Amino acid sequence: MARLLREALRRVDKFLKVDVNPDPIVLSDFSKGSALKRWRVFSDATFGGNSKGTLTAGEEGGKHAVFEGRYSKLINDGSPLVRAGYVGINTVLPRPLNLSLHDYLEWRVRARDGHTYVASVRTDQYTGGDEEAWQAPLSVSRSGEWEDVRVNLDDLVFTFRGRLVQQQQAFARMPRHAIIAVGLTLAASKDMPDEGDFRLEVARVTAGAKPVSGLEEERKAFQGYMHVEDHTSYADSQHHAQPSGRSSKRGGEAGAVLPDEPVLGLGSKRARSAESVQAGSAGRSSSSEGLKQ
């Protein structure tokens, strides 16, 4: 009886510790010089494409990074690619991150090219390594002004090797308790020219939470109770940990080719995300994307 009581008290204590309105978590801040070293660039060039990109420290005292280059839909002879035209960046987090109580990723960016990019998240959940990703469009303006663009975690759709997984019901929402990598990609859609330049400045990536109360607060408290984790040391860990360097046997991260079948079984917002991703207006994150099956 005493053991059961202790267990009950432990569970109550764990539930009461859940903070349903957690503070933002900075996943990457390019104002810190060490952040740039933990990001990598990938493109279709790995498989015989001609797209190229770089990620460098920006001007203004190096307080942000500049992701720029030139995409190309042209494919070299002998390439296994079905379609080309993608360039992306990503970073493996110092350790798996629990975002069960967070609702969105916020990218602070500045652009003038008018392109739609795709935000990608990888989780330590399934078996496909970096060939699996959860993705949604990152729509930025061409104003040339800094803006904070949110990507709701509930809007992310599941992809494998750059192709949208049609049975989205089987995966429901993205598991948030073991986030291992984030990134973004520029991929040429069918209505874009065969070649073109792109440039996106990135200052930081942050995970945030929407304020909740009432029944939503209780629901979120239970969700957090299932995956309680102390986030307080995450920011500090970024200064010491190194990326794991995990990559697929096909060569690491890369870009996007998707089928044209309709997306079924999704809510309206996720369906719109899936349609945008599927249309090729934004990219993927697995190096095997775009390969012939």
Structural contact between residues 194 and 21, judged by C-beta atoms closer than 8 angstroms:
no
Which amino acid is it at 148? D
Q: Round to whole Å and give the CA distance between 75 and 72.
A: 8
Task: Decide which of 212 and 224 is more confident.
Answer: 212
| DSSP string for 252-267 | S--------PPP-S--
Per-residue pLDDT tens over the stretch 36-65? 999 999 999 999 999 999 999 998 777 899
Distance of CA 214 to the CA centre of its chain: 30
pLDDT band, very low/low/confident/very high, at 172 (cuts 50, 70, 90): low
**In this structure, what are the phi and psi dihedrals at residue 95, rounded to the nearest 5 degrees?**
-155, 160
CATH fold of the domain at 22-210:
Jelly Rolls (2.60.120)
Tell whether the model's pLDDT for residue 155 goes beyond 70.
yes
Q: Round to whole Å and give the CA distance between 3 and 37.
A: 50
Task: Return the SS3 of 236.
Answer: helix
Burial class (CB in 10 A: 0-12, 13-18, 19+), 176: buried
Q: Rounded mean pLDDT of 158-174? A: 71
pLDDT reported for residue 50: 97
Per-residue pLDDT tens over the stretch 5-30? 444 444 444 444 456 678 899 999 99
Per-residue pLDDT tens over the stretch 237-252? 443 333 333 443 333 3
pLDDT band, very low/low/confident/very high, at 131 (cuts 50, 70, 90): confident
Structural contact between residues 160 and 132, judged by C-beta atoms closer than 8 angstroms:
yes
User: Which residue is listed with tokens 């996007």?
Assistant: 256
